[in-house]
Amino acid sequence: AFIPGKSSQLLLSADYSQIELRLVAHISGDEELISAFKSGDDIHTAMAAKIMGVPLDEVTPEMRRSAKAINFGIIYGMGDWGLSERLGIPVNVAAEFRKQYFATYPGVRSYMDDIIAKARAEKKVTTLLGRIRHLPDIDAKNRNVREFAERIAINTPIQGTAADMIKAAMIRVQQRLTAEKLPAKMILQVHDELVFEVDREALDAVKTAVQEEMENAMPLQVPVVVDMGVGENWLEAH
């Protein structure tokens, strides 16, 4: 496991919680999804209750796992067959899950349709901060090539904005650590996570600084949450 450089230090892990789904809510403007995040409910449990028609307190771990796969699969263009294979369920059941998902979150369906149409018109998509991804294959005659470009059109504004966001957070955090002369060093960025070496006596101040800067790196319609862990090594920090 990774360990800090000195015995007087600890590793601090700061990880955006479900940032891509939060960005789906923000970008799509879906009221139900925004409301779920604002309420603080576990989004996968809430979605399982909605599409499977059961009360929140009756959602089983298996239902939640299925909802999680649906949440991530559908927003990246997974169809009935793909969802069927992912969950090990019949195609007709997967199709019903997708139907219920879009009935529950119609703003997500509208976003997907609109972004594909926009990409087809402009041959590109952008992140919220304006980074461009060109899509020359969005009108390809080959169906597989075209559908791949459509999936890219859907997920680039989401994944790309998440990447933009953590880079903005890295700049903000470093500026804050420098301004406050805090004895901490950013040593690693992995997807939605930042890892720091922190002097033990400064841990609380560093945690506060990191959390505030990460959670305010980009204003969204939903709360941005950062999960934090501390340990003698990277494993313990999770």
Q: Return the residue matching tokens 């409910």.
A: 41
Q: Which distant-in-sequence residues (6+ apart) come within 8 Å of 7 by Cβ?
A: none
- The encoded tokens of residue 70 equal 């649906």
CA–CA distance, 173 with 171 (Å, rounded to integer):
6
CA–CA distance, 236 with 238 (Å, rounded to integer):
5
Question: Is 41 a known active-site residue?
Answer: no
- The encoded tokens of residue 21 equal 């789904």
- The encoded tokens of residue 73 equal 């699969």
Of the residues 15, 41, 113, 227, which is catalytic?
A: 15
> Amino acid identity, residue 177?
L
Positions marked active-site: 15
